Amino acid sequence: MPKIIDGDKQILTSGYGTGLTSKQKLSRAWVLKPTVYSTETVIAGNGTSNATVLSSTTTVSLVQTKANATHVTLGKGVEGQLKVIIHKSILGGNALVITPEDGIGGSSIFAAGDTLTSNLAARAVQLLFDGLKWQVVAGEITGTAEMVIA
């Protein structure tokens, strides 16, 4: 892109004119809120009533399940927020069950169902909060194995 030198200033130019448009300036000022680049390691809880709550301000949750500890919950996020949940380890052969923090039977915050389930360790799912619900955007997801949406 050619540049015009104006004293000690450089002005961006293109076939469309000089400088940034208002939309371009706005996009450069956009900030992800909350800006979260952290991880947490948790042990799943015992059943839906004693489920471990995943942090909504932590980007990555590493979850370990045990024989009688298989449940975690996830609350609402902030529009545009990404959340990664990794089933880090499995002890005792039990699956990881992720449910909305508002509980089963309430208004689900998962766009595709009421729960996410992982039957093996080292499975991951990446979610994006669209302002109302968590959307699955990446991960090992199918309808019958890996992270199952039900």
Please give the chain's pLDDT, 150 residues, in tens. Answer: 445 555 555 555 555 555 666 666 665 555 555 555 788 888 888 876 788 999 988 889 999 988 888 899 888 888 888 899 998 988 877 788 888 776 444 456 777 777 888 888 888 888 888 888 888 888 755 555 455 555
| pTM, entire model | 0.67
Domain ranges of the chain: 1-30, 31-149
- The long-range contacts involving 113-116, CB below 8 angstroms and separated by at least 24 positions, are 113/149, 113/150, 114/150, 115/149, 115/150, 116/85, 116/147, 116/148, 116/149, 116/150
Rounded to whole angstroms, how far apart are CA atoms 145 and 95? 11
For domain 31-149, is the CATH number 2.60.120? yes
